Amino acid sequence: MLLCTKIKLQVSEADVAALEFMQGKCRALYNWWVMRLRDGERWPGWVEAKATLEVSKAHDPDLRFVYGKLLHEVYFRLDKSMSAFFRRVQAGETPGFPRVRPRHAYFTLCYPAMYVKVEGGRLTLPTGGGGNTGIPKRYRNIVARLTEPAPADYREVAIPRDARGYYYASFVVEVGETPVRPSSVVAFDLGIKMLATGVNEDGRVHTVGGFKGHQWYNRQLDKIRSKRDHCQKKSRRYIHLSQVQKRVSERKRNKQPDCLHKASHLIAHRLVESTVVIGDLSQRQLVTKAHQEKNRRRNRAVFNDWGLYRFGQMLEYKCLRFGKELHRIDERYTSQDCSRCGQRQAMPLWKRMYRCATCGLAMDCDENSAINIRERFLARLGPHSAEAERCAAP
């Protein structure tokens, strides 16, 4: 499997100008092909499209000052987008045609490992021109300082940029997968109060907390936006508040994935159970009208701050890395059914305690749902079926 190590770069103003020039030309070439495809032209594949690069350089001579491998990556990336588009069309899903990249969006530059040099904590990236091309270099090779040691045996280096203008080097490294060792099962319910509440076969409850600071950050961002809206645009105070907003937003964006990484690492690496079961939960189900009786401002938290889908992706690759199996099963009615007697009752999200009127069971609703998920997996029951069948592997 492939893992990515992201390291912050320290670059000079001249190197920033070179990076911005090359990403701008790559983005323009990408958008030019997307507009041609939107007009009805057939996608010929990356081989035939790449053969037209010299024609594009004749039309735009500035492309000769962009490193050739970066221009080739444009065709590879567009070919992946078109392949995914055709796959979704055949599957009957929402097609999602490739979009035009806006000017403010940074086009990530991808270098193959053999054309990148790392020496003494410095990363050297080539630019276009010079050598046997006969064209003088407009920009010298980029030499950036790495803030951390680079990993060994990397396959590719991507150069992204964040919202505040900082550049990073993402080293793609291949890591072997650990073989799965059969053991016990732990089932997790993804919820609101806790990020994940799990129960193993012995009945032990595991609670994993998530990102708890989103409410504080949202209040601060709302105050900053309110103050900025009362300022004249492009004034000194307006610019200052915009910079403060970017800084606070960056802290929030950094803390959320950090919490998700720690939570997924705890489940995939620290727990002894080798089989992890989670419910196939959709965040859209949590903001329906049936759940808005007590809290009507939950939509913002669900879609912007929870990151349940991202947490599932992290858990998936970390289970592969540490030798565990991850299963997703349909968790429909697991929060409404009693884990002791099976009686079903309505359970809106604002009710945190499950109280069964039939058998008198009283427990946390997330624990009750985790027990139902565990029993459904152990019984190998498919969703809405009355006969036993083996649960499909992910």
- Considering the domain boundaries, does residue 229 fall inside one? no
pLDDT at 213 over 50: yes
pLDDT band per the 50, 70, 90 thresholds, residue 297: low
Two structure tokens written together for 76 = 């590879």
Q: Average pLDDT of 238-252? A: 92
Question: Stretch 2-29: mean pLDDT, rounded?
Answer: 94
User: 371 and 274 in one domain?
Assistant: yes
The model's pLDDT over 258-280, given as tens digits with 9 standing for 90+, comes to 999 999 999 999 998 889 999 88
Q: What mean pLDDT, rounded, does the chain reach?
A: 87
Using 50, 70 and 90 to split pLDDT, how confident is the model at 299?
Answer: low
Q: What is the pLDDT of residue 301?
A: 60
Q: What pLDDT does 394 receive?
A: 41
The predicted-structure confidence for 24-50, as pLDDT tens digits, reads as follows: 999 999 999 999 999 999 999 999 999
Domain-located, residue 13: yes
pLDDT of residue 391 exceeding 50, the answer is: no
Q: How confident is the model at residue 309 (pLDDT cuts 50, 70, 90)?
A: confident
pLDDT of residue 335: 86
Residue 231 lies in a domain: no
The predicted model gives 174-193 an average pLDDT of: 83
Task: Kindly state whether residue 332 falls inside one of the protein's structural domains.
Answer: yes
Same domain, 163 and 289: no
Query: Residue 317 belongs to what domain range?
Result: 185-211+251-378
User: Are 82 and 127 found together in one domain?
Assistant: yes
Residue 77 CB contacts under 8 Å (≥ 6 apart), including other chains: 30
Examine the pLDDT at 133 and tell me if it is beyond 90: no
Taking residues 91-118, report their average pLDDT. Answer: 92
The average pLDDT across 102-115 equals 92
For residue 275, give both structure tokens: 């089989």
Examine the fold and report which residue of 122, 153, 174 is the final residue of a domain before the chain moves on. Answer: 174
- Identify the pLDDT of residue 283: 60
Please indicate, yes or no, whether residues 133 and 197 belong to a single structural domain of this protein: no
pLDDT score of 392 more than 50 = no
Same-domain pairing of 154 and 45: yes
Question: 385: pLDDT confidence band, cut at 50, 70 and 90?
Answer: very low
Residue 43 domain flag: yes
Task: Starting at the earlier edge strand, list the strands of the sheet with 185-190.
Answer: 205-208, 196-200, 185-190, 275-279, 325-329
What is the reported pLDDT for 305?
Answer: 67
pLDDT band for 183, please (50, 70, 90 cuts). confident
Q: Is pLDDT above 80 for 384? A: no
Evaluate whether residue 272 is within a structural domain. Answer: yes
Q: Give the Cβ contact number of residue 65 at 10 Å.
A: 21
Q: What's the pLDDT at 132?
A: 76
Q: Which of 43-47, 191-195, 244-248 has the lowest mean pLDDT?
A: 191-195
**144 and 293 inside one domain:** no
By the 8 A CB rule, do 125 and 141 touch?
yes
Does the residue 157 lie in any domain?
Answer: yes
How many domains does the chain divide into?
2
159 and 256 assigned to the same domain: no
How high is the pLDDT of residue 389?
Answer: 43
In the prediction, which pLDDT does 388 show?
41
The CATH number of the domain holding residue 257 is 3.30.420
Q: Assess whether pLDDT exceeds 50 at residue 315.
A: yes
Q: Is 298 a residue whose pLDDT tops 60?
A: no
C-alpha dihedral over 18, 23, 28, 29, to 10 degrees? 100
How confident is the model at residue 63, as a pLDDT?
Answer: 94
- Considering the domain architecture, whether residues 8 and 123 belong to the same structural domain is answered as yes
Q: Mind listing the pLDDT tens digit for each residue in 70-84?
A: 999 999 999 999 999
Confidence of residue 285 (pLDDT cuts 50, 70, 90): low
The answer on 135 and 14 residing in a single domain is yes
Classify residue 315: in a domain, yes or no.
yes
Shared domain for 113 and 190, answered yes or no, is no
Which tops the pLDDT comparison, 26 or 289?
Answer: 26
Q: Is the pLDDT of residue 295 over 50?
A: yes
Do 95 and 19 belong to one domain? yes
- Is there a single domain that holds both residue 339 and residue 264? yes
